[in-house]
Amino acid sequence: MIEVIQYPDVVFLEIGVSQQSVNFEFRCLNTSNRSALIESIRAKGLDEQGNCLFSLSVDSNAMAPSVEVIPQRKLEPGGTLEVFNPLAEFPSEYPFERVDFSLRFISEDPGNLESSISVRPIVYEQKVLLDLPFEGICLVSDGHGFLAHHRRIPLLNPYVRKIGLTANSVRFAYDFMPSDSNGSVYKRDGLRLEDFYGWGKPVLSPGDGIVVSAAHDKADNPVGQPLPSVSPETYERLRMQAFERLRKAIMDEVVGNHVIIDHGNGEFSLLDHMQQDSVVVEVGEQVTRGAFLGKIGNSGDSGTPHIHYGLQKGKDTLSSEGLPSRFRQFELVLGTTTRRIENLCPDTGMIIKH
């Protein structure tokens, strides 16, 4: 038997500019004494009356099966497998009330195993009024869709547990990179920090609140260089070494120069990777929406200058779950035209202006 549950317990429905999405993981527990392999995942969206609005799947059909977007599909006997839900984004026109997921497994037992789970996402009622933390044109270089690194924090991974992470505070985070109107984030060859349009640009407070954490003295990293080609075994070894370095690092070294703002009502903003000695606010200081906090840098766990922004439930980045963040208003840049957006979440790859 295979038991499937969702994580986190409360699944938020995020309303974006062109889509709606749910951001959660499946945790699959194999209580049998046989191994099993995920063969397919199906999602059926239903309205309040139980009518089907859409049906999606990833499966093992064809020469390049779509289920292989899940890198680890084998469940060992008695083991637990964390699976990032690949069926998470839907057109905004679907007024669904719940999504029924069916996970089918191939097993050595006669016949296949199937487990189902019904998810009822809720729209998060954001309390703080937020503006984007920058002015000008910016590329949303990485949000939190299925392929984004913010979403893919494997909380059950033993190395992640050693770090002390018990929640994904960046589940709904963004990386904003100031750019030109064509989405280019640097000039010349992009090998120097000053080549990046964002380097040294102001970071602004997204909302009113009190500063509860700040750092300013971390050195900026040089621009990241491409890694050489390595074997899968070497890559895995390097990845484990990176986890070990993170475990030894204190949080300030990971987020670098940063500001955390308590907006009240259980909402906190984290803005990090700022330029060394540029942060001008201190713990206990009251800030207002649009106030200057510091400059865009490349400190902490960062390879290129950008603003990392995330809304989270608490001050502690290791133990606080992330929250969806809607911004009061911005413009979506569409070539030579723009479209005004109000109270929605931007999507990865968009060029936006504030």
- Measured between its terminal Cα atoms, the distance across the chain in Å is 52
Considering the domain boundaries, does residue 335 fall inside one?
Answer: yes
Report the amino acid identity of residue 283: V
Q: Which residue has the tokens 């750019």?
A: 179
Sign of the dihedral defined by the CA atoms of residues 213, 218, 222, 224, in that order: negative
As given in the structure block, the two tokens for residue 58 are 């990833």
Q: 114 and 146, same structural domain?
A: no
Q: What pLDDT score was predicted for residue 247?
A: 54
Flag whether the pTM goes above 0.85.
yes
Q: 117 and 208, same structural domain?
A: no
Considering the domain boundaries, does residue 128 fall inside one?
Answer: no
Last residue of a domain, one of 123, 148, 179: 123
Q: What pLDDT score was predicted for residue 227?
A: 47
Considering the domain boundaries, does residue 100 fall inside one?
Answer: yes
Sign of the dihedral defined by the CA atoms of residues 226, 180, 308, 140, in that order: negative
Q: 289 and 205, same structural domain?
A: yes
Residue 32: name the closest of 71, 73, 80 by CA.
Answer: 80
CATH number of the domain that 8 lies in? Answer: 2.60.40.10
CATH number of the domain that 321 lies in? Answer: 2.70.70.10
Whole-number mean pLDDT of the chain?
Answer: 92
Q: Which residues of the chain have pLDDT under 70?
A: 109-111, 225-230, 232, 235, 242-252
Q: Which domain holds residue 144?
A: 137-353
Q: 116 and 183, same structural domain?
A: no
Around Cβ 9, how many Cβ atoms within 10 Å? 8
Last residue of a domain, one of 123, 155, 174: 123
Q: What is the rounded CA–CA span in Å between residue 227 and residue 150?
A: 20
Q: 143 and 68, same structural domain?
A: no
Q: What is the rounded CA–CA span in Å between residue 287 and residue 181?
A: 31
Q: What pLDDT score was predicted for residue 351?
A: 97
For 172, the 3-state DSSP assignment is coil
Q: 145 and 72, same structural domain?
A: no
Q: 329 and 190, same structural domain?
A: yes
Considering the domain boundaries, does residue 197 fall inside one?
Answer: yes
Q: Which residues pair with 176 in a beta bridge?
A: 140, 307
Q: How many domains does the chain have?
A: 2
As given in the structure block, the two tokens for residue 154 are 């494997």
Considering the domain boundaries, does residue 202 fall inside one?
Answer: yes
Q: What is the rounded CA–CA span in Å between residue 262 and residue 279?
A: 17
Last residue of a domain, one of 90, 123, 156: 123
Q: What is the rounded CA–CA span in Å between residue 299 and residue 218?
A: 6
Considering the domain boundaries, does residue 130 fall inside one?
Answer: no
Q: What is the rounded CA–CA span in Å between residue 340 and residue 329?
A: 7
Considering the domain boundaries, does residue 131 fall inside one?
Answer: no
Q: 88 and 194, same structural domain?
A: no
